[in-house]
């Protein structure tokens, strides 16, 4: 963490004292937002008569027009009299800082004192004058200081994460009666028919009658979604305890009704898309079945072979739609597609006596469905080409897939251990329908390049530029 690195680099604090500051730092995002304050943590530096700022937090609930970049900077003590006073007297202080002519920030300092009654740091709150005049600011500041004083050593930073100006804030006293509610919280409860929160007990039936099955955990911070009327509220409940007794409770309310509504719409859309892919896959398989029936009725070996190739092309596309129908994402694993196509080829295109093995190496890449459909056809054609020409006089063969990438493109290499390419063979001038399909798909649909060469068998090299995967988005 930055705070521990800065402490070790610029200060003489021990490991235990640094750990204490790390724990306090977990609650500072919430503290800064509660108090509309820019927060800086000052520690005595290794260099005498200097402070160093080891942590800074900006609020999400207020605009700070006087941003200072103090993190990791050495500041002479003489320039920070209020910080020095708070450190020397071990007391909270309040003053002002003039950042521009006639423009002041309110300063509130809080000394961090360890178990040996030593001040190890001072937390400084800087607040715009307008924010400091807001209703309930003094209550928010007192609550923030109580939170700092009683910060749990095992605090979960998630519970003290930042809030926004749209979030509701409710603060109770030790008897669970509401002593502060900001405008956002009042608006949420106003929708539920409650006009005044101040003075209400948080367990009052009037407050809880609209809430569906909520369980209160009194001593530990928790967060959960609750349904209140037509609203969905994310409630964060932070009890502040001292010697086992409740001092105050901070409740953060976030209206996430629209977010959950959009989540539900996305889930429905995803389910519809999956169903469409499922139906496309079924339709493709039906077409393949019809062609298979036609093939059986034909007496021409050429027709049978042409229909078998067409069947395999159709089924290779259906493989992609099958994957898309089974998962919620529109991306496809190339290795999984290749494995399934090899299975289809074994079932439809080679004799049972032929022993076809496969090997995969290199990276694993995920492609968008559009490019994956094209690549499935490409891989199918190259596998069929290996079986038809590379293994023509063999009873066994190997087909491999190797995937690598450089800074600009994926490199997909499909190879076999067959008899290799004929002398002076060029895929660019070949009359083979399969290779023409491959070339058109690689160069036209994917925007890549395609070459073939011999190396103990035939190697087909396909490149897919990264930019071609995003140009159509």
Range(s) of the domain holding residue 233: 166-255
pLDDT level of residue 84 (50, 70, 90 thresholds): very high
| 129 and 187 part of one domain | no
Clarify whether residues 227 and 313 are in a common domain.
Answer: no
| DSSP one-letter string for 378-390 | HHHHHHHHIIIII
Q: pLDDT digits over 58-75, tens only?
A: 999 987 766 677 888 889
- Based on the domain organization, do 331 and 445 belong to the same domain? yes
What gap in Å lies between CA 276 and CA 264, rounded to an integer? 18
Residues 239, 265 within the same domain: no
**pTM of this structure:** 0.63
* CA separation for the pair 452, 459 (Å, rounded): 6
CATH of the domain at 318: 3.30.565.10
Alpha-helical segments (H) within 192-256:
205-208
Which sign, positive or negative, has the C-alpha torsion 323, 329, 334, 335?
negative
Instruction: Answer whether residue 161 is part of any domain.
Output: no
Q: Where are the beta strands (DSSP E) in 258-314?
A: none
Strands of the sheet containing 168-172, edge to edge, are: 178-181, 168-172, 245-255, 231-242, 222-228
Classify residue 158: in a domain, yes or no: no
Residue 338: inside a domain: yes
Is 159 part of any domain?
Answer: no
Residue 386 covered by a domain = yes
Please give the Cα distance from 456 to 473 (Å, whole number). 40
DSSP sequence for 136-184: THHHHHHHHHHHHHT--TT--GGGG----TTSEEEEE-TTSBEEEE-HH
Mean pLDDT, to the nearest integer, of 177-195? 85
CATH of the domain at 178: 3.30.450.20
Please say which residue of 130, 153, 176 terminates a domain. Answer: 153
Task: Give 471's pLDDT tier (boundaries 50, 70, 90).
Answer: low
Mean pLDDT of the chain: 84
Measured between alpha carbons, how far is 134 from 182 in angstroms, rounded to an integer?
10
Residues 367, 465 share a domain: yes
Cα gap 378→248, rounded to integer Å: 66
Say whether both 129 and 177 belong to one domain. no
H or E element at residue 273: helix 257-297
Pairing of strands 168-172, 178-181: antiparallel
Spatial distance between the Cα atoms of 56 and 123, rounded to a whole number of angstroms: 10
Residue 366 lies in a domain: yes
Model pLDDT, residue 210: 54
d(CA 386, CA 380): 10
Which of 42-51, 79-88, 412-421 has the lowest average pLDDT?
Answer: 412-421
Which of 255, 282, 301 is a domain's end point? Answer: 255
The confidence score (pLDDT) of residue 37 equals 92
Q: How many domains does the chain have?
A: 3
Residue 328, pLDDT score: 58
Antiparallel, parallel or unpaired: β 355-362 and 396-405? parallel
Question: Average pLDDT, stretch 423-427?
Answer: 80
Q: If residue 454 lies in a helix (H) or strand (E), which one and from where to where?
A: strand 449-454
Q: What is the pLDDT of residue 30?
A: 94
Integer Cα distance of 406 and 365 in angstroms: 13
Task: Give the end of a domain, one of 237, 255, 273.
Answer: 255
Give bridge partners of residue 127 from the DSSP assignment: 106
Tokens of 259: 């977010």
Pair (10, 59) in one structural domain: yes
Indicate if 351 and 223 belong to the same structural domain.
no
Q: Which two tokens stand for residue 268?
A: 């429905």
pLDDT of the residue at 29: 93
What is the structure's pLDDT at 344?
75
- Is 408 inside any structural domain? yes
User: Has residue 216 got a pLDDT over 60?
Assistant: no
pLDDT digits (tens, 9 = 90+) for 264-275: 887 887 778 778
Residues 249 and 294 in one domain: no
List the beta strands (DSSP E) in 6-49.
Answer: 38-44
Give yes or no: residues 398 and 266 share one domain.
yes
Q: Do 230 and 142 belong together in one domain?
A: no
227 and 275 housed in the same domain: no
Q: Would 192 be classed as within a structural domain?
A: yes
Q: Percentage of residues in the chain with pLDDT exceeding 90?
A: 27
Q: Which CATH number belongs to the domain containing residue 132 in this structure?
A: 3.30.450.280
Residue 175 forms beta bridges with which residues? none
pLDDT of the residue at 94: 93
Residue 78 has pLDDT above 80, yes or no: yes
C-alpha to C-alpha distance for 396 and 16, rounded to whole angstroms: 68
pLDDT at 14: 92
Cβ atoms < 10 Å from Cβ of 364:
10
Q: What is the pLDDT of residues 375-412, one digit of tens each?
A: 888 888 888 888 877 787 778 888 888 989 888 889 99
| Residues contacting 287, CB < 8 A, separation 6+ | 314
Quickly state the pLDDT bin for 92 (edges 50, 70, 90).
Answer: very high
CA 218 to CA 241: how far, in whole Å? 10
The H or E element that residue 222 is part of is strand 222-228
């Amino acid at each position: 963490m930055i705070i521990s690195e800065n402490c070790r680099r610029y200060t003489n604090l021990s490991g235990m004292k640094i750990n204490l500051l790390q724990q306090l730092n977990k609650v500072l995002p919430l503290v800064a937002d509660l108090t509309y304050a820019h927060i800086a943590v000052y520690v005595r530096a290794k260099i005498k008569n200097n402070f160093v700022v080891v942590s800074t937090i900006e609020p999400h609930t207020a605009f700070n027009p006087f941003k200072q970049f103090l993190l990791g900077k050495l500041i002479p003590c003489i320039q920070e009299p209020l910080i020095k006073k708070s450190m020397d007297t071990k007391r909270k202080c309040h003053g002002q800082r003039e950042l521009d002519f006639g423009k002041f920030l309110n300063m509130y300092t809080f000394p961090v004192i360890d178990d040996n009654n030593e001040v190890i740091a001072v937390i400084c709150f800087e607040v715009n004058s307008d924010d400091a005049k807001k209703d309930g600011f003094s209550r928010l500041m007192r609550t923030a200081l109580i939170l700092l004083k009683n910060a749990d050593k095992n605090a979960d930073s998630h519970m003290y994460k930042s809030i926004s100006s749209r979030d509701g804030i409710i603060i109770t006293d030790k008897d669970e009666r509401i002593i502060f509610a900001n405008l956002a919280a009042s608006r949420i409860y106003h929708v539920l028919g409650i006009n005044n929160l101040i003075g209400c007990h948080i367990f009052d039936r009037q407050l809880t009658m609209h809430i569906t099955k909520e369980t209160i955990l009194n001593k530990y911070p928790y967060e959960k979604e609750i349904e209140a009327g037509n609203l969905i509220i994310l409630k964060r409940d932070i009890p502040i305890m001292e010697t086992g007794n409740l001092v105050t409770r901070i409740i953060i309310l976030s209206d996430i009704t629209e977010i959950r509504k959009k989540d539900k719409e996305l889930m429905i859309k995803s389910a519809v898309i999956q169903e469409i892919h499922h139906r496309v896959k079924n339709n493709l398989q039906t077409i393949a079945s019809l062609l298979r029936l036609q093939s059986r009725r034909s007496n021409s070996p050429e027709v049978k072979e042409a229909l078998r190739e067409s069947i395999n092309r159709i089924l290779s596309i259906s493989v992609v739609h099958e994957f898309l129908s089974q998962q919620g994402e529109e991306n496809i694993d190339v290795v999984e597609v290749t494995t399934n196509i090899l299975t289809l080829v074994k079932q439809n295109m080679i004799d049972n006596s032929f022993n076809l093995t496969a090997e995969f190496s290199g990276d694993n890449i995920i492609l968008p469905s559009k490019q994956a459909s094209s690549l499935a056809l490409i891989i199918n054609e190259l596998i069929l080409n290996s079986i038809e020409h590379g293994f023509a006089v063999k009873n066994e063969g190997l087909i491999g897939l190797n995937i690598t990438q450089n800074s600009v493109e994926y490199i997909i290499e499909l190879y076999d251990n067959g008899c290799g390419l004929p002398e002076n063979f060029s895929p660019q001038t070949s009359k083979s329908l399969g290779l023409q399909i491959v070339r058109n798909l690689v160069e036209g649909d994917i925007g890549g390049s395609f070459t073939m060469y011999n190396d103990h068998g035939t190697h087909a090299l396909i490149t897919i530029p990264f930019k071609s995967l995003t140009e159509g988005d």
